[in-house]
Structure 1
């Protein structure tokens, strides 16, 4: 459901953005003819976003990061945002951001506090993905780009994570670091593709303590692999309960299971770990994946990570599991 700022807030934000724009035009006329700083470094860069080609500032000082797939890259590059949706931060690895009161918490995509986004006075907003529906509202505050991974991208979602990383490298002048991440994903996915051998797999999501078809969210993992999703195209919802019975899964008898623990990623209070639920499912006792210990549990925070680092780790897990057999 799209959310909108009040007329007062939007008006104030628009006046602010307009004032900044006019100030920039008056003070930066020389930059129009010379898009480099006095030191010869570029002041802006042209990038390809999911919404087209845009010109963005290089090394923006005040960044609002909303797309969770960018968080690990920003953190590892030493870039501290001025505002994030702290409820979407993975439970581990971001303790400093969570505790830092100078980083404003704009809430989650379900009820984003856009007034706080405006208060953060960003030079650039990294939007998209879970925040796609409020793109126009965000653009009324500051320049907002969508470079999130996309299933519709040429080459698929995994390739789009590489494109996202390369673009972030151009914006933040971290081209070498970006190239290393892209190479790591290439190597990890290539190794995983070579290790897999055309066997069947059930892509599982554990949500609300129930085991369901998780292909909607983690089917992307299979893009470079030689595995067959046994329930491809069947009902399943990352946020709901399709009614898929354990007995149905057992009857299909996939060779492997790859598990997304959404309860862990969403920090569901009182939820059991996915492994405990699967181990206690009697219907699985005689399945190939259970008897041969052919179950791969993705990082518990995969649901809130989903960026290039999470996919590198997932492919390394796949390679390790298959080569151990």
Structure 2
């Protein structure tokens, strides 16, 4: 009888050890899986070619407002960013919990290093710092390519969707935006409307045509350019109010740069003078003052494009 009891106790102990061993191995496996997930990387293509970046990086420094915009839309937070000229629709990032790096052109490298980033996202204005930033963390070079805000935003959103494993959200957002663009374009083409987009900058005027940074007015929304000879330039072609009267567009889109730089002149009072009042745009109520932060500062982001589309929807009477 005693031998039987000893044998039973031995079996129980063996089983216990086996269970403990299984539990230990299981815990070890879970730990390994977690470690692998944490160290997971992906190869994406940015403006410099293929680059290996971490998946779901925890500490992200963002120097590109367009990418910050997309991340915000996807529910992903940065650890640090330049707060110097944040668009209003990104004002939540003025909060002190985000490290302020200064401006998009003049930022603090020491603060970036102190933030211990897993990923740094830049655009063209920081290109000269690329090699310095690479010494701190992997650098993803996004921003706007060939003045095409819409194509760049779509491409950048897809890349960030991969990195943060939010592809479905990106697809849904892009489908919604594209439907709205097509609705505006259909209405514009139905009316065969011409347009001119002009920047008002403390009394001076410049126009933007096909191939410019605001080419989307024509290529995406279907307006006919009122003057095909406008020079394609980032700073636009200098024009006068007499020019606007002569070209007589159906729609006149006005971007007030002074609203960004802090100039106090009334753009509406300056634009709607006796010369401009003779145009079809004025007579039909088609002088449209676009959101300067989204059009000029925002870059290739989903929220910026949402605002741009809203401006166009308002212009053609969709909303």
Specify the TM-score bucket, using the shorter chain as the normaliser: 0.7 to 0.9
Change in CA separation of 1:151 and 1:260 when aligned onto 2, cut-off 3 Å: same
Do residues 249 (structure 1) and 244 (structure 2) align?
A: yes
- SS of the aligned residue for 1:211 comes to strand
Q: Does the 8 A contact of 1:128 with 1:135 survive in 2? A: no
1:113-128 superposed matches below 5 A: 113-128=108-123
Do residues 66 (structure 1) and 63 (structure 2) align?
A: yes
Do residues 259 (structure 1) and 251 (structure 2) align?
A: no
Q: Does the 8 A contact of 2:291 with 2:311 survive in 1? A: no
Partner in structure 2 of residue 9 of structure 1: none
Do residues 230 (structure 1) and 226 (structure 2) align?
A: yes
Partner in structure 1 of residue 103 of structure 2: 108
Q: Does the 8 A contact of 2:255 with 2:292 survive in 1? A: yes
- SS of the aligned residue for 1:321 comes to helix
For residues 233 and 37 of structure 1, what CA distance do their matches in structure 2 show? 59
Partner in structure 2 of residue 206 of structure 1: 200
Alignment coverage as a number of residue pairs: 282
- Structure 1: any 5+ residue segments left out of the alignment? 1-34
**RMSD of equivalent CA atoms:** 2.7
For residues 84 and 313 of structure 2, what CA distance do their matches in structure 1 show? 32
Partner in structure 2 of residue 179 of structure 1: 171
Query: How far does the alpha carbon of each residue in 1:302-323 deviate from its partner, in whole angstroms, 9 at most, with x for none?
Result: 2222322222332343244324
For residues 40 and 110 of structure 1, what CA distance do their matches in structure 2 show? 35
For residues 290 and 297 of structure 1, what CA distance do their matches in structure 2 show? 12
For residues 65 and 85 of structure 1, what CA distance do their matches in structure 2 show? 8
Partner in structure 2 of residue 188 of structure 1: 180
Do residues 299 (structure 1) and 295 (structure 2) align?
A: no
CA shift, 1:223, in A, is 2.1
For residues 55 and 277 of structure 1, what CA distance do their matches in structure 2 show? 51
1:1-325 superposed matches below 5 A: 37=34, 43-90=40-87, 92-100=88-96, 102-151=97-146, 156-197=148-189, 198-215=192-209, 216-235=212-231, 243-264=238-259, 266=260, 268-279=261-272, 281-302=273-294, 303-306=296-299, 307-323=301-317
Change in CA separation of 1:308 and 1:76 when aligned onto 2, cut-off 3 Å: closer
CA shift, 1:238, in A, is 5.6
Q: Does the 8 A contact of 2:298 with 2:304 survive in 1? A: yes
- Structure 2: any 5+ residue segments left out of the alignment? 1-31
For residues 233 and 146 of structure 2, what CA distance do their matches in structure 1 show? 17
Partner in structure 1 of residue 7 of structure 2: none
For residues 291 and 79 of structure 1, what CA distance do their matches in structure 2 show? 46
TM-score (norm 1): 0.77
TM-score (norm 2): 0.78
Change in CA separation of 1:324 and 1:78 when aligned onto 2, cut-off 3 Å: closer
Partner in structure 1 of residue 19 of structure 2: none
For residues 52 and 176 of structure 1, what CA distance do their matches in structure 2 show? 25
Change in CA separation of 1:96 and 1:193 when aligned onto 2, cut-off 3 Å: closer
CA shift, 1:248, in A, is 1.2
- SS of the aligned residue for 2:145 comes to coil
Q: Does the 8 A contact of 1:218 with 1:260 survive in 2? A: no
